[in-house]
Structure formats: C-alpha cells, structure tokens
Amino acid sequence: MPPGVAFASGHFTAENIITKTTRSGDLVGVFHDEAAWRALPAGTTIYQVEMLPSPDGEGELFVGTTHLNPGRVGDEFYMTRGHFHQRREQGEVYFGLRGSGLLLLQSEQGEARFEQVSQGSVHIIPGNTAHRLINTGSEVLSALAVWPTIAGHDYASLAQGFALRVFLWEGEIQARGVQYG
Ligand code: PA5
Ligand code: NI
C-alpha cells in the first residue's frame, strides 16, 4: 500500500512517520503581544509537522503535513514560524486538508499577500517567497506540503517577522501592516 492521507483528520496513513512538535516556548519573538505569549504555558502545542520518510538529495522531494492548532496569542491567531527556503529559488506546493486559514506569502522585497486555505485548496509557492500558515478558524488547520529536499529552511532572514499580521479585532479577522525599524 502506498502512503495515504486521511482527509477527515489530515493524518498520514503510513508507517515510520516522523513528527515534530512546535510549542509556544519555541516561538520566541514570533507573536506581537509578548506579554500574552509569556502568559501561555511554554509547553502549549502550537503545531505539529508529520513527514513521510523520503530520500535526501538533488531531485528528491519531502512530503509533510502541518497541523496548526486553533487559538490566539493575545489577539493574534496561531501561526507557523514561517521561512524562506535556504535555496531561495526553490518553490513548494501546499494543499488544504481541513480547517480554514491563510497562507501568508512574502517576496524578498517585503511585499506580502494572502491566499485562503481550506479543504482542497492548492497553493503554488513560487521560488524566492517566504511562507507562513495562519489558523483563523476554530478547528485544526491541516495542509499537506511538497518541497524539494535541497530547499532547506532559512528562518533567520525573517527574524524581524513578516510585513502583515492577522488579528481578531472586534469579532473580525483583520490583517494589519507592521512597521519595522
Ligand atoms: O515545508 C514547509 O513549508 C512546511 O512543511 C513548514 O516547514 C511547516 O508548515 C512548519 O513551518 P515552519 O517550518 O515555518 O516552522
Ligand atoms: Ni517551505
């Protein structure tokens, strides 16, 4: 049997899955409201990534699913750390499995935009584009991703954060630009 993915849960149906958990305490400096972030127990799970075992090297692909919990730090929705690829020119495909949220995309020039993520949505992330998932819904947001194993992750280039943040303000989902420097 080839590996599969269960749409209802977003989980892989395969053996030897590798799982990585990212907790609140791992996301230093990621959320806008530092006091609210400090108030969260550091062990609070924000997201988990499941990966299929796959070979490494030029021409190979990684396949993973991200399960991003619903919730907020202060008014800001839970999100992944977000990254550029170390090999900037390498792209990626995301596929929505369950839940609803946003994929935040940002160019190297700092231009940011969103795509709506929902069950069945397909997102082609071009090369040279940073990406972050944001869960604006009330259930787990799960998305499958496929990317070249040579791509790598560059988190450091986004240490200042993305140009847009997403909050629940007055009962509405609102994106706000962020001034840095
Ligand atoms: O390859 C990807 O883009 C995803 O699998 C992400 O790594 C995953 O969503 C976790 O996000 P981050 O790597 O930004 O913590
Ligand atoms: Ni990526």
Is residue 1 domain-resident? no
Angle formed at CA 19 by CA 78 and CA 61, multiple of 5 degrees: 100
Domain containing residue 156: CATH number = 2.60.120.10
* pLDDT single digits (tens) 1-47: 889 999 889 999 998 999 999 999 999 999 999 999 999 999 999 99
User: Could you tell me the residue range of the domain that residue 118 belongs to?
Assistant: 15-177
* pLDDT single digits (tens) 38-74: 999 999 999 999 999 999 999 999 999 999 999 999 9
Is residue 8 domain-resident? no
Mean pLDDT of the 84-104 span: 98
Q: 125 has which bridge partners? A: 92
How many structural domains comprise the chain? 1
| Whether the CB of 81 sits within 6 Å of ligand 1 | yes
Is residue 33 domain-resident? yes
Is residue 94 domain-resident? yes
Q: Phi first, then psi: what are they for 117, rounded to 5°?
A: -105, 130
Is residue 10 domain-resident? no
Provide CB contacts within 8 A for 85, sequence distance 6+.
Answer: 92, 127, 147, 151, 152, 153, 154
Is residue 163 domain-resident? yes
Of 63, 80, 135, the residue with max ligand 1 atoms within 8 A of its CB, to mutate for a pocket test, comes to 80
Is residue 119 domain-resident? yes
Atom of ligand 1 nearest to the CA of 147: 1
- CA separation (Å) from 51 to 80, 144, 146? 16, 10, 10
Q: 134 has which bridge partners? A: 79, 102
Q: CA–CA separation, 179 vs 151, rounded Å?
A: 29
Is residue 4 domain-resident? no
